[in-house]
Amino acid sequence: MNPSLIFQCNSELLEGPVFDHKENLLYFVSILDCLVFCYNPSTKEILSVKLDSPVSCVFLLDRKRIMVASKSGFFEVDFNTLQKKFSFQIDIANSVRYNDGIKDPKGRFIIGTMGYPEVKNNIGKVFSYSEGKYKVIIKDTTISNGLAFSQDGLSLYFIDTPTKKVAKYAYDTETGDVSFESYVIEFNREGSPDGMCMDNKGMLWIAEWGGGCVSRWNPENGRKLDERQLPCLNVTSCCIDNYLNLYITTAKSSDKDDIYGGGLFYVELN
């Protein structure tokens, strides 16, 4: 079956898949269950660590060690020992939580926020954190979602989901500053762009919340190139593995017959 269901734990909101290409491991989170997972595709082993507040995204550190963003701060999680320890916090309002994040080419943590427990317009921001210092690089967002760097690291692509667009920012790798250039992709159907990743050809794979699919786009001309359907409506994010295939996270919908939402899927592209 393609897509194939890899993992299902009755989660309301799976998110944030990140593939460690060196160690051949997949990390992802169940936001509202406060859980972060480590999946070994070779052995099929899945490990989990529970934090004390909603978790949103993962940053790779080294072998089976990651940094996890939770509402109450950033925690270092060691899947060798299943231990966690507090690392740092950014000064965010009580009315928001972290959402998608990514490392920049210099190793900075780039991460966005959104309203929590209620989504509110324009109260989100995108932060850059490095060596104990942080700054806001994008402000007035509503649901800060997908982040992806161009292959040369000089462009940052960003999704604020309610805009139904992908924005392109010029990125200064020395300072970590951004400047808005243009909107490069626009969604005109029911689905809204959520998480995304870049493949080895420089094309963007974008998860469609409410669209039941992941779609592939050329950010240079805004053209849609491909689409892969999922057996559930709310598709949250995706990442590429060592075989250039996709791991995809999903979320439950209001449809009582939605038995696949909240599952982790694998789609073979090659």
Question: Active-site residue numbers?
Answer: 194
- What DSSP letter does each residue of 120-140 carry, written as one string? -TT-EEEEEEETTEEEEEEEE
Q: How far is it, in rounded angstroms, from Cα 262 to Cα 107?
A: 30
Give the residue among 198, 216, 209, 197 at the shortest CA–CA distance from 250: 209
β-pairing, 178-186 vs 165-171, is antiparallel
**Helices assigned H by DSSP within 76-164:** none
Give me 270's structure tokens: 């090659």
Which amino acid, one-letter code, is at 246?
L
- What DSSP letter does each residue of 175-242 carry, written as one string? T--EEEEEEEEE--SS-EEEEEEE-TTSPEEEEEETTTEEEEEETTTTEEEEEEE-SSSEEEEEEE-T
Neighbours of 263 (CB within 10 A): 23
